[in-house]
Amino acid sequence: MADTLTDLQHWMHRALLRPEEANPQEVDARLTPHPRLSPSGALAIYQQSYRLRIASCMREQFPALCHALGQDLFDDFAAEYVRDCPPESYTLYDLGRRFAGFLDAQRPDRDSQTREVWVDFVIDLARFERDVFVTFDGPGAEDLPPASPATCDADLRLNPSLRVRAYQFPVAQYYLAVRAKAAPTPPPPAPNHTAIVRQDFGTRIVPLRAGHARFLSVMTECTTVALALAELGPGALTPWHDDPGLKTDWLRAGMFVAADAQT
Amino acid sequence: MTTQNGIAALPQLGLGLGLRNVHFEHILTHWPDVDWFEAISENFMDSQGRPRDVIRKVADRYPVVLHGVSLSIGSTDPLDLDYLARLKTLAHEVQPQWVSDHLCWTGVMGLNSHDLLPVPLSDETLAHIVPRIHKVQEVLGRPLILENPSTYVGFKDSTIEEPDFLRALADQTGCGLLLDVNNVYVTCFNADADAMAYLDAFPWDKVVQMHLAGHTDCGTHIIDTHDQPVRPEVWELYATAWQRTGGASTLLEWDGNIPDFDTCHAELLKSRAYMGGAGFQQVLDAAQIAPATGVSNPVSFLVPDVMDAATPADQG
């Protein structure tokens, strides 16, 4: 191992992550002055670029949360986040993976008996946006034949991209309003269930009733309709047993594929 | 040497463009008359969604090159073999003409700065990087092509000029070189060095590809922002470089404030005017476009516009 190089890289990386801790004398000792740039000035280009780059990528991954907080406050949260959870992966797709957990761990009312509603909303929205982001580029059903109305229940399988989630706020509606540039205000709590699914590389957001979400969640684990019903207990019926239109809607949203496509 | 064919067997591809998210729809709809595309490896290697589908379709129609930003060949952390395996899988899938990355490091201690950080150019660094290139080439089964980065700092530990360092790397490993002409200008300007002297010292026989891009003049220094047209000073260097490489494959990078495809393509085609050597036609209408942030090596193009792909179930 190149000891001098190791030492230099550890020093420079710390200087990027925590610019305020970079000792000016050490900067001068390691970096060469140029006529145009002092050592500290040159290092500052990398320090500033790191901060701006991370903030920019976080805004791209959490556009609705950025809208909710305003860019300045969002950037402050993002900066604190990467100080606490510096990027570990070679891919920027991973950058926001721990953001909702970070916000939850750092919530200002964590030691209080009373929970601040706006904090709950921020965390809920961060979770939703991460779910949408992961669905966009994760496993999908584009190479699998979709299920059709003619596909019998025994042959229905869930789209591999499907995520069934419970949120405390109508975050999906808020997200779509931001997308439509409607400048929404933070909504009051309204617990809900939502399916996020990708079809033809487009991400679909499907509101669910609690019982429907329960069925789909169990089916995620059990694979087939029959096994899901067995898991749910005696007398369990499909969500569409008395509402054929529901099955049609879910098929149209791409929530199912046909069984033989996966074998 | 672990590669089956050396860099001499690599083709001259002509004039290519970076494959960017904002142009996906245009490319798949119009199949524009571009010689080749360069794809950022990390945008596609983990994708199981639209980016992966797009690169497969593009690779069916055009020569493709994979250009990485995360190999971190200069890092003192161990090589990321999982990353290399994923890169190899993508390469197997899209059959790129070559695979490139940068002479840089991106992080240490298991962390990543997502920047292309320079290494001190010394015998110690050379001895550290050479076996890592050998390992990468062994895993990928092909020569690695390395790019000169844009740099803003100089290290007191540096003892070797960058062209000589790159020559030594190429001689000792068989790797090829990607000469980023804009990076030459940026690095030399910031170090108050002579860019033409840099070119005079460059190992031209190792050059497989060239990059062109725009930069931002910050007064005291310039930053490699890739967010505007190529500057006249860089076009002049390119004219020399094109002559000395004998017409190496040329690619335009545009990564911030990305205009529509036709604008990018028109900027690329300006390079034809600089292929005639002395007396080349001056096409110096590189009006500055105000940069959004002045971030070096902008990476916003690495994040897809997910929001635009999201719709309620009763739409789209």
Q: What was the pLDDT predicted at A230?
A: 97
Q: What was the pLDDT predicted at B279?
A: 39
Domain stop point among A89, A111, A137: A137
Do B154 and A87 lie within an 8 Å CB cutoff?
A: no
In a shared domain, residues A60 and A186: no
Burial B73-100 (b: 16+ CB within 10 A, else e): bbbbbebbeebbebbbebbeebebbbbb
In a shared domain, residues A76 and A191: no
Q: What was the pLDDT predicted at B284?
A: 43
In a shared domain, residues A204 and A229: yes
Pinpoint the alpha helices (H) of A39-116. Answer: 39-61, 63-69, 71-84, 99-105
Report how far residue B167's alpha carbon sits from residue A35's, in angstroms, rounded to the nearest whole number. Answer: 27
CA angle B9, B11, B16 (to 5 degrees): 150
Residues of B in contact with A12 (CB under 8 A): 117
Q: What was the pLDDT predicted at A129?
A: 97
Name the residue in chain A with its Cα closest to that of B225. A49
Provide the pairing of β-strand A156-158 with A256-258: antiparallel
Domain stop point among A113, A137, A161: A137
Q: Could you read off the pLDDT of A168-183 as tens digits, one per residue? A: 999 999 999 999 999 9
- Residue B1 resides in a domain: no
Residue in the block written with tokens 């047209």: B229
Q: Name the residue among B110, B221, B310 with its Cβ closest to that of A36.
A: B221
Domain stop point among A121, A137, A153: A137
Q: What was the pLDDT predicted at B305?
A: 62
Instruction: Domain of residue A68: give its range.
Output: 1-137
DSSP assignment of B212-246 equals: E---EE-SSSEE----SPPPHHHHHHHHHHHHHHT
Write out residues in chain B with pLDDT < 50, as ranges. Answer: 1-2, 278-292, 300-301, 316
Note whether A140 and A159 are within 8 A (CB): yes
A–B interface: beta-carbon pairs under 8 A: 215
Length of chain A: 263
In a shared domain, residues A121 and A17: yes
Q: What was the pLDDT predicted at A111?
A: 86
In a shared domain, residues A116 and A158: no
Report how far residue B297's alpha carbon sits from residue B299's, in angstroms, rounded to the nearest whole number. Answer: 6
- Residue B17 resides in a domain: yes
In a shared domain, residues A186 and A84: no
Report how far residue A14's alpha carbon sits from residue A181's, in angstroms, rounded to the nearest whole number. Answer: 39
In a shared domain, residues A63 and A101: yes
- Residue B305 resides in a domain: yes
Note whether B145 and B208 are within 8 A (CB): yes
Q: Could you read off the pLDDT of B158-177 as tens digits, one per residue? A: 999 999 999 999 999 999 99
Contact of B9 with chain A, judged by CB distance below 8 Å, is answered with no
CATH number at residue B231: 3.20.20.150
Burial A102-129 (b: 16+ CB within 10 A, else e): bbbeebeeeeeeeeeeebbbbbbbbbbb
- Residue B3 resides in a domain: no
Domain count, chain B: 1
In a shared domain, residues A160 and A245: yes
Residues of A in contact with B110 (CB under 8 A): 88
Strands (DSSP E) found in chain B: 15-18, 36-40, 64-67, 99-102, 144-147, 154-155, 176-180, 207-212, 216-217, 222-223, 249-252, 310-312
Strand partners, A208: A193
User: Nearest CA to B75 among B102, B121, B101, B107?
Assistant: B107
Distance from CA of B307 to the nearest CA of A (A): 7
Residue in the block written with tokens 């529509």: B260
Write out residues in chain A with pLDDT < 70, as ranges. Answer: 1-2, 261-263
In a shared domain, residues A114 and A56: yes
Phi-psi bin for A94: left (phi > 0), alpha (psi -120 to 50), beta?
Answer: alpha
CATH number at residue A218: 3.90.930.50
Q: What was the pLDDT predicted at B5?
A: 63
Q: What was the pLDDT predicted at B281?
A: 44
Domain count, chain A: 2
Predicted TM-score (pTM) of the model is 0.92
- Residue B199 resides in a domain: yes
- Residue B238 resides in a domain: yes
Instruction: Domain of residue B28: give its range.
Output: 10-309
In a shared domain, residues A28 and A93: yes
In a shared domain, residues A103 and A59: yes
In a shared domain, residues A170 and A99: no
